[in-house]
């Protein structure tokens, strides 16, 4: 099958959508399909062979974060040419309503189109206002996928439709095979970890850093590993001087380092305050054997099955985070129980299963009008 995949966000910045697109493309290629990915990138940006650059990305504030998008005449021309030359059996557009390559591709194409929706914004005034403009274009989509129930609810509320829920995927064995680094282990008082952009408020690092002094006072040998890009000096400066040495900022980590960090953790903390539609980082941590402590967002509650696979605390509540972290760090038997339950549950998210579900959608829509052609 010839599959064209459109990513609205620049691949040079880590993110859930970008990782999903990259992994899906590689899985489909391994299965023998012909895959081309269109993504924002300069012509001289190093990208995998299956990626076609579609122009420079510009940073735009979006959903509490900063998205790097590509839009304009140059990008539109490249989208049309890519669709025309690709002669795809199925066009798979991620975040079709995003004003980037995704929306340009949706405007430019006809035929079998699959749209995957990742965003969860139940009270988005922007989406509500734009829905009447977007609906005619969205009606061209043959099948809609939402990566979670919160993403599905956002889509139904603002844009309509009846999407099927297919979660984000990951290569479970790559995380399960990771081994802890001795230099990242704290010994008897335990190691906590966090992954996310340091200066993006919704990722919740500030909540964790407010909670950490209370954890450190009870367990002075505790260690906190913080991975992600951002202003390290600013983040460190929010901690009391006496416990700063207990926090190690790792900067950006690649996938193997990320898995090793999770494997080195007695508890992975996800203190996000909102804007999360799924929580793939929780699944990654669980696959690597890290017990999860997460804020009680709808998306996270679903991943940890209401608390059966991980512990939850009230969103933004630093004292509650500290209490739950101390309870987990002091209960080795509970951590072992969570590890065992989670490692079985995450098999549901392995790409070997998720790719088959997506392919079933491709095959269904491909039975309709043949090919995806450029709109006139």
- 153 or 218, which is more confident: 218
User: CB 255: neighbour CB atoms within 10 A?
Assistant: 15
Least reliable range by pLDDT among 107-121, 210-224, 332-346: 107-121
Give residue 133's pLDDT. Answer: 65
Query: Is the pLDDT score of 65 beyond 70?
Result: no
| Closest by Cα among 29, 51, 48, 25 to 38 | 51
Give residue 10's pLDDT. Answer: 85
| DSSP H/E element including 263 | helix 255-263
Contacts of 162 (CB under 8 A, 6+ apart): 144, 156
User: CB 124: neighbour CB atoms within 10 A?
Assistant: 16
Q: Which residue has the tokens 């804007």?
A: 275
Least reliable range by pLDDT among 84-98, 112-126, 283-297: 112-126
122: confidence class by pLDDT, cuts 50, 70, 90: low
The pTM of the full predicted model, rounded to 2 decimals, is 0.88
62 phi-psi bin (left φ>0, alpha ψ -120 to 50, beta other): beta
List domains and CATH numbers for the chain.
2-169+350-374 (3.40.50.2000), 173-348 (3.40.50.2000)
376: confidence class by pLDDT, cuts 50, 70, 90: very low
Rounded Cα distance between 115 and 93, Å, is: 5
| Closest by Cα among 242, 253, 236, 195 to 220 | 242
Contacts of 319 (CB under 8 A, 6+ apart): 211, 214
Mean pLDDT of the chain: 90
| Closest by Cα among 42, 34, 41 to 18 | 41
373: confidence class by pLDDT, cuts 50, 70, 90: very low
Query: Is the pLDDT score of 225 beyond 50?
Result: yes
User: CB 234: neighbour CB atoms within 10 A?
Assistant: 10
Query: Residues 201-214: what's their mean pLDDT?
Result: 97
- Helix, strand, coil percent content, the chain, rounded in steps of 5: 45, 20, 35
Rounded Cα distance between 263 and 257, Å, is: 10
Query: Residues 264-269: what's their mean pLDDT?
Result: 98
What the block records as the tokens of 224 is 């906190």
Query: Is the pLDDT score of 56 beyond 90?
Result: no
**Strand-pair partners of 225:** 193, 248
Rounded Cα distance between 374 and 355, Å, is: 27
Query: Residues 358-363: what's their mean pLDDT?
Result: 97
Give residue 166's pLDDT. Answer: 97
Give residue 64's pLDDT. Answer: 58
Query: Residues 323-344: what's their mean pLDDT?
Result: 97
What the block records as the tokens of 267 is 């508890």
């Amino acid at each position: 099958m010839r599959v064209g995949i459109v990513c609205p966000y620049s691949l040079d910045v880590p993110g859930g959508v970008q990782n999903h697109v990259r992994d899906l493309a590689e899985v489909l290629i391994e299965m023998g399909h012909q895959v081309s990915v269109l993504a924002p990138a300069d012509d001289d940006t190093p990208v995998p062979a299956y990626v076609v650059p579609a122009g420079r990305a510009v940073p735009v504030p979006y959903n509490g974060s900063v998205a790097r998008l590509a839009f304009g005449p140059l990008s539109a021309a490249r989208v049309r040419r890519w669709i025309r030359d690709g002669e795809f059996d199925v066009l798979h557009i991620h975040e079709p309503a995003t004003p980037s390559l995704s929306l340009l591709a949706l405007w430019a194409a006809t035929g079998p189109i699959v749209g995957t929706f990742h965003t969860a914004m139940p009270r988005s005034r922007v989406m509500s206002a734009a829905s009447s403009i977007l609906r005619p274009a969205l009606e061209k989509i043959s099948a809609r996928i939402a990566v979670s129930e919160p993403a599905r609810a956002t889509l139904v509320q603002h844009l309509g439709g009846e999407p099927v829920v297919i979660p984000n995927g990951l290569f479970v064995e790559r995380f399960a095979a990771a081994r802890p680094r001795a230099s990242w282990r704290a010994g008897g008082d335990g190691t906590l970890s966090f992954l996310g952009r340091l200066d993006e408020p919704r990722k919740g690092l500030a909540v964790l850093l407010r909670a950490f002094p209370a954890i450190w006072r009870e367990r002075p040998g505790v260690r906190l590993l913080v991975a992600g890009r951002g202003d390290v000096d600013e983040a460190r400066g929010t901690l009391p001087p006496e416990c700063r040495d207990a926090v190690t900022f790792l900067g950006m980590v690649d996938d193997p380092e990320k898995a090793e960090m999770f494997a080195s953790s007695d508890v992975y903390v996800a203190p996000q305050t909102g804007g999360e539609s799924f929580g793939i980082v929780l699944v990654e941590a669980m696959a690597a054997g890290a017990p999860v402590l997460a804020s009680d967002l709808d998306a996270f509650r679903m991943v940890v099955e209401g608390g059966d696979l991980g512990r939850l605390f009230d969103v933004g509540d630093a004292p509650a985070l500290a209490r739950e972290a101390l309870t987990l760090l002091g209960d080795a038997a509970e951590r072992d129980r969570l590890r065992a339950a989670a490692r079985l549950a995450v098999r549901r998210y392995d790409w070997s299963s998720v790719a088959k579900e997506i392919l079933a959608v491709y095959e269904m829509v491909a039975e309709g009008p043949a090919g995806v052609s450029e709109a006139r």
